[in-house]
């Protein structure tokens, strides 16, 4: 019965290649789902995620910003580390203070092979201010899924910032998680 042996071998291989939650251990990032989540010029990939892959303490994203594309002005109470893989742009950062609003931010140049982290609750915005080239960043956050407070502008009081949870890329996954639990 060589066919049966082959099937058993195939099943064993698939089992060995899969982790407990049914995902392959090693995944090709270029084949992972990417989406703009309604933000033109953005490509977001959840490389390793809480709701998507069951991670509890860290989450990793790969994001590409076309020229002119930016994040909202926002803050979160998790740690966040960026590694710039390609391109350049500007980090706008308003260190947390006792002021009622973030106020005018620092403008800091970011570039290929640079790294920076956003201290907990510092209000920030990432902007591809390079008109020629895409900006590609690898983003690491702690305590996923991310809980983001969004500001309309830098003078908006902290208390008026709006919580967006689940965040755009977690939305569908969060709903299905909640449904699974019902």
By the criterion CB under 8 A, which residues form the site for its own copies?
16-17, 19-20, 25-30, 47-48, 53, 55-58, 60, 78-79, 81, 83, 91, 93, 95, 106, 108-111, 113-117, 119, 138, 140-143
d(CA 159, CA 28): 41
d(CA 142, CA 136): 20
Which residues face 81 on adjacent strands?
A: 117, 140
Chain centroid offset of residue 13 CA: 32
d(CA 126, CA 94): 12
Q: What is the nearest approach in angstroms of its own copies to the Cβ of residue 146?
A: 13
**Of 56 and 98, which CB lies nearer to its own copies in the complex structure?**
56
**Of 9 and 111, which CB lies nearer to its own copies in the complex structure?**
111
**Of 30 and 159, which CB lies nearer to its own copies in the complex structure?**
30
**Of 57 and 180, which CB lies nearer to its own copies in the complex structure?**
57
Chain centroid offset of residue 71 CA: 11
Q: What is the nearest approach in angstroms of its own copies to the Cβ of residue 99?
A: 16
């Amino acid at each position: 019965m060589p066919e049966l042996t082959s099937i058993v071998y195939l099943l064993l291989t698939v089992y060995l290649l899969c982790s407990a939650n049914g995902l392959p251990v090693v995944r090709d990032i270029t084949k992972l789902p990417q989406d703009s989540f309604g933000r033109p010029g953005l490509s977001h990939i959840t490389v390793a995620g809480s709701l998507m892959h069951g991670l509890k303490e860290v989450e990793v994203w790969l994001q590409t910003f076309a020229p002119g594309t930016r994040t909202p002005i926002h803050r979160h109470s998790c740690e966040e580390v960026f590694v710039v893989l390609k391109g350049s742009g500007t980090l706008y950062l308003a260190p947390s203070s006792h002021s009622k609003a973030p106020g005018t931010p620092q403008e800091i140049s970011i570039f290929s092979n640079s790294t920076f982290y956003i201290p907990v609750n510092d209000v920030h915005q990432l902007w591809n201010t390079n008109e020629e080239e895409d900006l590609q960043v690898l983003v690491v956050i702690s305590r996923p899924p991310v809980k983001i407070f969004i500001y309309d502008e830098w003078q908006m009081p902290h208390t008026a910032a709006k919580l967006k949870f689940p965040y755009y890329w977690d939305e569908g996954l969060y709903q299905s998680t909640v449904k699974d639990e019902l």
